[in-house]
Amino acid sequence: TSEENKEILISQEYEHKEKLNNEYEKILKNNPQQVFIEITEETIENWKKILYKKIPNIINEDCNILNSEKTKENSKIVSNDIPRTRGREKILLNSFSSLLEYFINFYCNNNKILYKQGLSEIIAPFLVLKYKLPNIPYYTIYNLLSGFINTYATNYYYEKTCFSLTNSLYLLPLLLKYHSPALQNLFDKILINPEMYGTSWLLTSFCSKLQLHLLYHLMNKIIIEDDPFMFHFLIIALLINKQKI
């Protein structure tokens, strides 16, 4: 019955929460650099004020997420991507593989889209917030990541073509030429195009390679700034800074 299913889901969530508490203690003991310095309940409330405005339909129940079904089209690629997600922090995701799959499936089903590589990288850091704030509901995490994707990466994952990604990549050499003509001229000379340096950064909103404590610091600044083009300028700043180094 539906009541029995709901009790099962509540029990599963409790078990996940217990695992998270245990693993978070290990992280604090063995990896102090992983402590999420800036992420507090106040931080989450500030994010909600900004990101919830970007969501057409706010989710208010965990059961819908934890009961999400696989789709035949997404199943294989999602299963292959999950073990590779946040590869540097495998300890963080030992108890998260199934949850990550639930969230991916629910996001794709809820928005009627097919999964594309890179999406798991954006979802994972929001899910890992459970380590810091174990009492935060899964639906809050889902709403936050939905608002984030809607602001910074919606068209990349909603379109069947790469039209929006192509346009975003087209902006990068124009911005670089304005801020550092010499560097862009060098790129033109040695045939470095924006697809080579910008694709992964744009598709994952920098969520793929950065260490978590740095990523959360960056995400907090980006969300509070609330500028959908911030990642484009961040890429340019990194390129110019790398040139100076």
pLDDT in tens, the chain (245 residues): 555 555 555 555 555 545 544 554 554 455 544 545 568 889 999 999 999 999 888 888 877 787 777 777 777 888 888 888 876 665 555 567 788 888 999 999 888 888 888 899 999 999 888 877 888 999 999 999 999 998 888 778 888 777 888 888 999 999 999 999 999 999 999 999 999 988 888 888 888 878 888 888 889 989 998 888 888 998 999 888 876 54
The whole-angstrom separation of Cα 154 and Cα 193 is: 23
188: Cβ contacts below 8 Å, ≥ 6 apart: none
C-alpha dist (Å) from residue 100 to 32, 125, 131, 149: 24, 10, 14, 16
